[in-house]
């Protein structure tokens, strides 16, 4: 059978992360990669377009979330700023038992995901919204066991976008390139303010990708209803230090 990606390579690389991919998952990854390349000729989705790079930089990279978190069967996951489905759709392919919401503020990307989900015979909720707006909607607020985000914003902003979605006891996993010490320091106040526990950081080196950091934050207490704030307020007064935010924020 004609394969677009090297399924065996993907299976091996996933196994190195202790992720088992069965034949159905491998077939779906093949369809996904083909669809991405096809859609990318119409809409700018990704700069990564060779099958080998898609496997390493999108699929294996996204699967790396599962080295830090093992969602329970049927867990609810929201991927914030999912773009072309990373990591949320990759996680759904690896774990079709999950209840996945793919959120993005760009409608075109969700239209692409809708088409890809149909080709994969998988279902996920597609949510066209800004994270900071959906985080105030009771339908989504504090409803998720796992919140993921890759390449969306620095941690002090991302925490305000993402932590409101997590249930108390749930987790937020942020995927970052390189090392993140400074970002963690800068994000510490926001994480605390929004009800997050102490961030745990795992760094791993992926072949053909490089160093990746996975920042895992447990939701310890409910998020104060005033967060997330509207975009303009977040941008104007980011949660970067106790003094600045607590005193100037109404
Ligand atoms: N997560 C994907 C990945 O790793 O390939 C996409 C990353 S792309 C650089 C950032 C995505 O986040 C874009 O699709 C953008 O539309 C979305 N985004 C940025 N800010 C957002 C917000 N506040 N709410 C919802 N989506 C947002």
Beta-carbon neighbour count of residue 135 at 10 Å?
A: 27
Which residue, 108, 106, 89, 85, is CA-closest to 98? Answer: 89
Rounded CA separation 37/60 (Å): 17
- Which atom belonging to ligand 1 lies closest to the Cα atom of 129? 25
Expressed in angstroms and rounded, the spacing between residue 1 Cα and the centre of ligand 1 is 35
| Atom 4 of ligand 1, nearest CA residue | 150
Cis peptide before 94 (omega within 30 of 0): no
Three-class SS state of 84: coil
pLDDT of residue 179: 81
Give the three-state DSSP class for 77. Answer: strand
How close is the Cα of 85 to the center of ligand 1, in Å? 10
Show Cβ contacts of residue 48 under 8 Å, excluding neighbours closer than 6 positions. 54, 57, 58
Domain residue limits, the chain? 72-239
Ligand 1 center–CA 111 separation, angstroms: 15
Rounded to whole angstroms, the Cα distance separating 153 from 163 reads 13
Query: What is the DSSP code string of 21-73?
Result: --HHHHHHHHHHHHHHHHHHTTS---S--SHHHIIIIIIIHHHTHHHH--PPT
Query: Per-residue DSSP letters for 173-227?
Result: EEEEES--HHHHHHHHHHHHHTTB---EEEEEEETTTEEEEEEEEEB-SPPPTT-
Superfamily of domain 72-239: Vaccinia Virus protein VP39 (3.40.50.150)
Q: Using CA positions, which residue lies closest to atom 5 of ligand 1? A: 86
- Which of 36, 57, 78, 104 best tests ligand 1's pocket when mutated (most atoms within 8 Å of CB)? 104
In angstroms, rounded to a whole number, what is the distance separating the alpha carbons of residues 79 and 173?
A: 10
List the one residue out of 99, 78, 80, 93 whose CA is nearest residue 36: 93
Give the number of the atom of ligand 1 that is nearest the alpha carbon of residue 231: 23
**CB neighbourhood size of 232 (10 A):** 9
In the structure, which protein residues have their CB atom closer than 6 angstroms to any atom of ligand 1? Answer: 81-84, 86, 103-106, 109, 130-132, 150-152, 161
Which residues have a Cβ under 8 Å from the Cβ of 181 and sit 6 or more positions away?
A: none
Low-confidence residues of the chain: pLDDT under 50: 243-250
Is the peptide bond preceding residue 35 cis, with omega within 30 degrees of 0?
no
CA-closest residue to ligand 1 atom 18: 81
CA distance 190 to 17: 30
């Amino acid at each position: 059978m004609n394969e677009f990606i090297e399924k065996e390579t993907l299976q091996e690389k996933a196994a190195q992360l202790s992720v088992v991919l069965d034949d159905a998952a491998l077939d779906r990854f093949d369809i996904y990669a083909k669809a991405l390349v096809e859609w990318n000729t119409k809409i700018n989705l990704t700069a990564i377009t060779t099958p080998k790079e898609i496997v390493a930089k999108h699929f294996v990279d996204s699967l790396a979330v599962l080295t830090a978190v093992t969602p329970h069967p049927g867990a609810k996951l929201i991927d914030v700023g999912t773009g072309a489905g990373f990591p949320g759709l990759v996680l759904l392919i690896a774990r079709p038992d999950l209840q996945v919401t793919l959120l993005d503020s760009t409608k075109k990307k969700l239209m692409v995901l809708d088409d890809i989900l149909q080709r994969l015979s998988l279902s996920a909720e597609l949510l066209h919204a800004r994270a900071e707006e959906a985080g105030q909607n009771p339908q989504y607020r504090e409803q998720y066991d796992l919140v993921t985000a890759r390449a969306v914003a620095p941690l002090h902003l991302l925490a305000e976008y993402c932590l409101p979605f997590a249930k108390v006891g749930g987790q937020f996993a942020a995927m970052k390139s390189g090392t993140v010490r400074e970002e963690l320091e800068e994000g510490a106040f926001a994480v605390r303010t929004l009800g997050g526990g102490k961030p745990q950081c795992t760094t791993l080196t992926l072949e053909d990708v490089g160093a990746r950091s996975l920042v895992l934050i447990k939701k310890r207490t409910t998020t104060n209803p005033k967060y997330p704030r509207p975009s303009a307020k977040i941008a104007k007064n980011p949660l970067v230090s106790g003094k600045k935010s607590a005193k100037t924020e109404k």
